[in-house]
Amino acid sequence: MKNDIQTIIDALIPLYAQSEDDLPNQALWNHPDIEKIYTIQNQLIDLLFPGRSIGDTQPLDAFFKEQLTQLIPPLQTEIEKALPFRWKAAADLHENRVPIPDLPLASEHLLHQFIQTLPHVREMLIADIQAAYNGDPAALSYAEVKLAYPGLLAIAAHRLAHELYQLDLPLIPRIMSERIHSLTGIDIHPGASIGSGFFIDHGTGVVIGETSHIGNNVKLYQGVTLGAKSFPLDKHGRPIKHIQRHPTVEDHVIIYANSTILGGDTILGERTVVAGNVFLMESTPPDSFVTRAESGVQIRTRSQTKNQDGI
């Protein structure tokens, strides 16, 4: 048995990177700590929604001071671990990127920038809660939305992860988003841009791709996908990164359950309503109503709908 174990070890070792020359001082196991990131994510969400977790009542000033004091040191540590992957990713993409000379200082600066975004994130989430309450007759209070709605949890986590993504922080935003994906069944890439008053009703199976742009006061139902039509490849045969691959959804759009909208050049105009189970790869003008048809989909403006219905 000892010989078998050593044989397996000898076969495994060459399959693991022993040194990463483009990541100075970055050992194979010196990546961000996933469990610590989960804890930090919980603390951030608790900070945005005081009272969401069980705890003693206290003045907001003291509460915020306690939360920030607890989460800032470990978050800076994890940021410092993640930052070297900026140039690791660049190397994988055959891009030239200079390593950060002072990781502790850079991580402290990035952390400061992120903390400054928290009031804005809270402001956006207030509008999201109001949108859920106003958009769902089953919601009987703001507290119910805050404590029970998976859509709001997914949106809160996304808004935090998006701010970190905007600061060009590798790994951590994606770890945060995938953790919430596993909890809620809602998959929002941290790169997606989402406006104010966003509401995901029910939520299970919603997928929002990295380069999606969503305007203000948009409502999605379960099973909606904002995806890519294709993946252009570079000369190495790998998908080209950082190009518009996912749809743009303008203000006041509603997309009903299990509809799929694809393509970076697809734009849903303002106040468009997409019916359930629609597969769409073309843009719509403002005030459209999109339904399934035998030939594919049917796009009508509201005025055409009224005329055809004799109203």
**SS3 (DSSP) at 293:** strand
| Residues 179 and 34 reside in one and the same domain | yes
What torsion, rounded to 10 degrees, do the Cα atoms 184, 112, 108, 210 define? 40
Q: Phi, psi (5° rounding) for residue 165?
A: -60, -40
pLDDT tens digit sequence for 259-301: 999 999 999 999 999 999 999 999 999 999 999 887 778 888 8
| Residues 60 and 121 reside in one and the same domain | yes
Residue 59 belongs to a domain with what CATH number? 1.10.3130.10
pLDDT tens digit sequence for 99-126: 788 999 999 999 999 999 999 999 999 9
Residue 217 belongs to a domain with what CATH number? 2.160.10.10
Domain limit, last residue, from 163, 184, 205: 184
| Residues 161 and 96 reside in one and the same domain | yes
Containing structural domain, residue 212: 192-311
**Is 22 contained in some domain?**
no
The number of distinct structural domains making up the chain is 2
pTM of the model: 0.89
Which of 49, 37, 79, 80 minimizes the C-alpha distance to 177?
37
Q: In what order do the strands lie in the sheet with 199-200?
A: 199-200, 219-220, 254-255, 273-274, 288-293, 296-301
Say yes or no to pLDDT of 21 above 60: no
Q: Could you tell me the two tokens for 238?
A: 């790998």
Q: Which residues of 42-53 are buried (b: 16+ CB within 10 A; e: fewer)?
A: ebbbbbbbeebe
Please report which helix (H) or strand (E) contains residue 299, including its range: strand 296-301
pLDDT tens digit sequence for 143-188: 999 999 999 999 999 999 999 999 999 999 999 999 999 999 999 9
**Is 127 contained in some domain?**
yes
∠ CA(258), CA(151), CA(131), 5° rounding?
100
